[in-house]
Amino acid sequence: MSEKPSNLPVNSDRLWGTILETAAFGATPKGGVRRLTLSQEDRKVRDWFKAACEAAGCTVTVDALGNMFALRPGRDPSRAPIGLGSHLDTQPTGGKFDGILGTLAALEVVRTLNDAGIETEAPLCVANWTNEEGSRFAPAMMGSAAFVGDFTVENILGRKDAEGVTVKEALEAIGYVGAAPVGSQPFEAFVELHIEQGPILEAENKTIGVVEHGQGIVWYDGHITGFESHAGSTPMPLRRDALATFSQIVLAVEAIARKHGPDAVGTVGEVTIANPSRNVIPGEVNFTCEFRSPHAEILKALEADFAAAVTEIAAGRKGVTVEIEQVWRKDPTHFDPKVIGAIREAAEGLGYSNRPMVSGAGHDAFNLATRMPVAMIFVSCKDGLSHNELEDATQADCTAGANVLLHTVLSLAGV
Ligand code: HGY
Ligand code: MN
Ligand code: MN
Ligand code: MN
């Protein structure tokens, strides 16, 4: 093994240039990005990413769910690759950094090693995971969840979006139905760089977050059935108002999360009224909601309180039924001490201020951690804002994250 280049830097301007260039795929008028998974915008950025990885000497494979893997050979082909990367899809009103920073920084790591003529001992594998956001198709972190066996490929291929398009049809429409079996790409370890999507690093003026732990998550689909009737002639006591019932559920979600705070959050993110009309009492409402906590016992308490609240609300609403289906659940994630140590050592060695962190947002790394040693690197984003078109980060912070990613990967892979 040769000497690890102690402070080899990535090419900051080249990394920043890729961030600005790829922000054009799905750019919105307000300066954000709308690049829903398996959309034409997603296809364009995938094609760009594939060409860039191939130009950097990687061999790109795609699996049956569109997960992409760009392999850079190492001196010891008997070792499984060290994985790095994240996701390319965004929320409907997403930003330029969520997900794609980790994938572009991984590409920049490969480019930097090429420029320096460095061959690592273990191969490297840059990954783009399909549908991390879970906005168009549920669940979130879908491609990596199937990769680790949380869902069968058939189950995922049949998932439908709001227009009734299946994952299978969407993958075919963008030409990303790959030949590789899902889960077949081996990894020795995985490191994901991501913006924090929260306010801590900025508030404490720290450059790097060494992520040790991720929140547990539970997702529900809700369906409320009342009875449509005339808004003018139906007396209040006779109404079976699905939307008024829904409003009680929204306030219950908020109250339950506050009750178990500060390490608990609850959100109702989507609601649709069937046949909405200003002078018809809503008879049918569909909605989604979710709870998260870093602590398994709090997550269980949130689930129990929510079930009890729904039962009580429905009991108080004559002639209205409330159905709740748990569609996804993930226990809190604890990352790997060796990978955490490598990240912390890289940050210290590069002179970056850093602090241990728990991730509020979900990441593909959470799923991968059930199958291999994993940890994450965070960098700051402006005002801690994400899942918003105003999402922003600085070139200096993105570069710092990429440098830590480079040196973490070098220490794991060996040179
Ligand atoms: O939901 C999440 O936390 C992730 O951003 N998809
Ligand atoms: Mn993300
Ligand atoms: Mn996100
Ligand atoms: Mn993620």
The closest residue, in CA terms, to atom 1 on ligand 1 is: 362
The pLDDT value recorded for residue 33 is 98
- Residue 145, domain extent: 12-215+333-413
Q: Which two tokens stand for residue 229?
A: 């009737």
User: Do 74 and 123 form a contact (C-beta atoms < 8 A)?
Assistant: yes
Q: Which two tokens stand for residue 386?
A: 């994400």
Residues in the chain: 415
The pLDDT value recorded for residue 112 is 98
| Residue among 387, 388, 391 whose CB has most ligand 1 atoms within 8 A, to mutate | 387
Distance from Cα 133 to the centre of ligand 3, integer Å: 5
Q: What is the mean pLDDT of residues 24-29?
A: 98
Residue 128 lies in a domain: yes
Closest ligand 1 atom to 361 CA? 3
Distance from Cα 194 to the centre of ligand 4, integer Å: 7
**Residue 81 belongs to domain with CATH number:** 3.40.630.10
The residue behind tokens 């040179």 is 415
311, 316, 321, 327 alpha-carbon torsion, rounded to 10°: -30
ipTM comes to 0.89
The pLDDT value recorded for residue 91 is 98
Domain boundary among 330, 364, 387: 330
Please tell me whether residues 61 and 103 are part of one structural domain: yes
The closest residue, in CA terms, to atom 2 on ligand 1 is: 362
98 marked as binding residue: yes
Q: How sure is the predictor about 5, in pLDDT bands with cuts at 50, 70 and 90?
A: confident
Residue among 140, 219, 207 nearest 357 (CA)? 207
Residue 251 lies in a domain: yes
At residue 1, does pLDDT exceed 60?
no
Domain boundary among 304, 330, 356: 330
Q: Which two tokens stand for residue 315?
A: 């009991």
At residue 2, does pLDDT exceed 70?
no
Q: What is the mean pLDDT of residues 33-51?
A: 98
The pLDDT value recorded for residue 268 is 98
Which residues sit opposite 384 in a β-bridge? none
The closest residue, in CA terms, to atom 4 on ligand 1 is: 362
**CA torsion through residues 206, 209, 213, 214, sign:** positive
The pLDDT value recorded for residue 6 is 76
Ligand having the closest approach to the CA of 86: 4
Distance from Cα 140 to the centre of ligand 4, integer Å: 9
Q: Is the preceding peptide bond at 262 cis, omega within 30 degrees of 0?
A: yes
Please tell me whether residues 239 and 348 are part of one structural domain: no
Query: Mind listing the pLDDT tens digit for each residue in 80-132?
Result: 999 999 999 999 999 999 999 999 999 999 999 999 999 999 999 999 999 99
223 marked as binding residue: no
Residue 181 burial by CB count (10 A; 0-12/13-18/19+): exposed, middle or buried?
Answer: exposed
**342 Cβ contact list (under 8 Å, min separation 6):** 191, 375, 408, 411, 412
Residue 5 lies in a domain: no
87 marked as binding residue: yes
Please tell me whether residues 187 and 257 are part of one structural domain: no
The pLDDT value recorded for residue 281 is 98
Residue 1 lies in a domain: no
| Residue among 194, 330, 363, 385 whose CB has most ligand 1 atoms within 8 A, to mutate | 363
CA-to-CA distance for 168 and 159, rounded, in angstroms? 8
Distance from Cα 86 to the centre of ligand 4, integer Å: 6
Domain boundary among 330, 353, 385: 330
CA distances from 84 to 105, 171, 280 (A): 9, 23, 53
Residue among 220, 292, 288 nearest 261 (CA)? 292
Ligand 1 pocket by C-beta < 6 Å: which residues? 132-134, 140, 361-362
The closest residue, in CA terms, to atom 6 on ligand 1 is: 133
Mean pLDDT of the chain: 97
The pLDDT value recorded for residue 83 is 98
Query: Mind listing the pLDDT tens digit for each residue in 229-270?
Result: 999 999 999 999 999 999 999 999 999 999 999 999 999 999
User: Do 227 and 397 form a contact (C-beta atoms < 8 A)?
Assistant: no
CA-to-CA distance for 272 and 94, rounded, in angstroms? 21
Q: How sure is the predictor about 3, in pLDDT bands with cuts at 50, 70 and 90?
A: low
Please tell me whether residues 66 and 93 are part of one structural domain: yes
The pLDDT value recorded for residue 221 is 97
Amino acid at 388: N
**Residue 299 belongs to domain with CATH number:** 3.30.70.360
The pLDDT value recorded for residue 194 is 98
The pLDDT value recorded for residue 35 is 98
Q: What is the mean pLDDT of residues 336-344?
A: 98
At residue 216, does pLDDT exceed 70?
yes
Query: For the chain, what percent of residues have pLDDT higher than 90?
Result: 98
Q: What is the mean pLDDT of residues 307-311?
A: 98
